[in-house]
Chain A
């Protein structure tokens, strides 16, 4: 058995393919002036890349001895929230386009895509509660704090730029993607350093 951790590059490559596909499709949809409904339709295939990405990360974790039952549960929950989010957003946009709801129904439709994100935050909490491996837990907390730091910096700088009318307004639901990018960058940085 190998003594040192030798994680493969496959998860990084899958992650890169996923990010490029998501952003590429998103920009493509905007460039083609697709409606909300069709944007969601074309975003589904790149979302499916999450499955091989997470499987690849788990295989790499098994090879490098960097895995735990809690981490596997966290990854499963990650898939659940990601696909629930797409489904909820798809449903909300479709209903909004078709019915043009007002009042309480509009509130309900508007909050629907946020519910999977609430589940995601719960999954984060559960991971930290369920993880019994203190080193893996410490690593995750470090990565999460890096993501939080990035979010605070980006949100503050962007907020002031926005106040001075230098940049356009950005919706506040962007907080989670920015945080997740920070988390991913911290994880990649740790892999690159080989620690």
Chain B
């Protein structure tokens, strides 16, 4: 699954650490999600969507 996390984060000038802190996860988790090594669970995907104020499908895209 692809995602726009890196772009959305860059638009806000957040580092991976900033995003990790806001999501209360490790920076490694943010890195793994951004690089497509790990697909987040539905609850974490909702938390990400809430943080960016966007629907999930505008952040996570089908391959």
Instruction: Write the residues of chain A forming the contact surface with B, with a CB cutoff of 8 angstroms.
Output: 1, 3-5, 64-68, 132-136, 138, 195
Contact yes or no, B17 A65, CB < 8 A: yes
Question: B15 contacts which of A1, A66, A67 (Cβ < 8 Å)?
Answer: A1
Nearest opposing residue in chain B for A64, CB measure: B28
Question: A133, A134, A135: which has the most chain B beta carbons within 10 Å?
Answer: A135
Contacts A132-B24, A133-B25, A136-B28 given; does A195 touch B37 at CB 8 Å = yes
Do most interface residues of chain A lie in helix, strand or loop, or is the interface mixed?
loop
Within 8 A of A (CB), among B7-38: 15-17, 20, 24-33, 37-38
- For chain B, the bracket of interface size reads 10 to 19
Question: B24, B27, B32, B41: which has the most chain A beta carbons within 10 Å?
Answer: B27
Contact yes or no, A135 B32, CB < 8 A: yes
Contact yes or no, A3 B16, CB < 8 A: yes
Question: A3 contacts which of B15, B24, B38, B41 (Cβ < 8 Å)?
Answer: B15
